[in-house]
């Protein structure tokens, strides 16, 4: 059974990831390793490696594989970093980050989703992941500053709390826009109050709910 999913994963990486321009070998290897099917309901396993998001309950989704790879690559991780993820969701993006960074701190606002993700992390023995249940728009100040912050939901503007919790030279990868369409933006903290901004094109995410995001 596992061989079946390994071959599907290999095909996913070759067609959806490498051919679309992802070049970071560490990201490619992480995408080859993390078993995406385990992060969705068993009924969806046959679709787990296809080129689209999938529902995970509570009106949330697991992101398209290419988007996970792209956002991971944009963090420019070497393996020594401390990373903050906003929106644990299925846990798939977080697992990829756990392969790429030294420590991953993840914030999820829905307790049932956080609990399910934690169970999968324990099953896969990701001991470098910590999950906090709370308002992701406020970050997780206790463990800041972060070398990278990744946001898996769309905000109308970059939350101030997240910008402030970036280390100097740290990168914030976040979808910015309205509830129907967004652009994937990278903010790099150059100095205490100076951020460079790069736009990596259109994307589509669920809304980031919270004090510094969208209201429910």
**Closest among 71, 88, 83 to 134, alpha carbons compared:** 88
- CA distance readout (Å), 109 to 60, 115, 122, 182, 208: 11, 11, 20, 21, 10
Residues present in the chain in total: 216
Question: Residue 136: helix, strand or coil by DSSP?
Answer: helix
Identify each DSSP E strand in the chain by its residue range.
54-57, 60-62, 82-86, 103-108, 129-133, 146-151, 166-177, 182-191, 194-203
Of all residues in the chain, the percent with pLDDT exceeding 70 is 99
Q: Running DSSP on this structure, what letter comes out for residue 127?
A: T
What pTM was estimated for this model as a whole? Answer: 0.94
Give 3-51 pLDDT, tens digit per residue.
Answer: 789 999 999 999 999 999 999 999 999 999 999 999 999 999 999 999 9
Give 166-210 pLDDT, tens digit per residue.
Answer: 999 999 999 999 988 899 999 999 999 999 999 999 998 989 999
Residue 90 clears pLDDT 90, i.e. is over it: yes
CB half-sphere exposure, 138, CA atoms < 13 A: 10
Q: In angstroms, rounded to a whole number, what is the distance separating the alpha carbons of residues 84 and 81?
A: 10
Residue 1 clears pLDDT 70, i.e. is over it: no
Give 136-172 pLDDT, tens digit per residue.
Answer: 999 999 999 999 999 999 999 999 999 999 999 999 9
Ordered domains of the chain (ranges, CATH): 53-203 (3.40.50.150)
pLDDT for the residue numbered 57: 84
Which residues, in sequence order, are CB contacts of 105 under 8 Å at separation 6+?
Answer: 82, 83, 84, 85, 129, 130, 132, 140, 143, 146
pLDDT for the residue numbered 59: 77
Would you please indicate which residues are annotated as catalytic (active-site) residues? 63
- Mean pLDDT across the chain, nearest whole number? 94
Q: In angstroms, rounded to a whole number, what is the distance separating the alpha carbons of residues 122 and 177?
A: 35
pLDDT for the residue numbered 41: 92
Q: In angstroms, rounded to a whole number, what is the distance separating the alpha carbons of residues 175 and 86?
A: 12
Give 46-55 pLDDT, tens digit per residue.
Answer: 999 999 989 8
Residue 216 clears pLDDT 80, i.e. is over it: no
């Amino acid at each position: 059974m596992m061989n079946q999913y390994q071959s599907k994963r290999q095909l996913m990486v070759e067609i959806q990831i490498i051919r679309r321009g992802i070049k970071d070998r560490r990201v490619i290897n992480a995408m080859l390793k993390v078993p995406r099917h385990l992060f969705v309901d068993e009924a969806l396993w046959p679709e787990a490696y296809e080129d689209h998001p999938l529902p995970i309950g509570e009106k949330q989704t697991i992101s398209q594989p290419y988007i996970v790879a792209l956002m991971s690559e944009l963090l420019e991780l070497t393996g020594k970093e401390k990373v903050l993820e906003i929106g644990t969701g299925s846990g798939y993006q977080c697992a990829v980050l756990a392969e790429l960074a030294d420590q991953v701190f993840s914030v999820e606002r829905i307790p049932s989703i956080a609990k399910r993700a934690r169970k999968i992390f324990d099953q896969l023995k990701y001991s470098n992941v910590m999950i906090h249940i709370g308002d992701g728009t406020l970050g997780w100040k206790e463990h800041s500053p972060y070398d990278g912050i990744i946001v898996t939901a769309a905000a109308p503007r970059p939350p101030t709390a997240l910008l402030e919790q970036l280390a100097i030279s740290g990168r914030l990868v976040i979808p910015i826009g309205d509830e129907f369409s967004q652009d994937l933006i990278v903010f790099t903290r150059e100095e205490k109050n100076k951020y460079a901004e790069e736009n990596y094109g259109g994307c589509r995410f669920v809304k980031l709910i919270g004090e510094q995001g969208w209201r429910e």
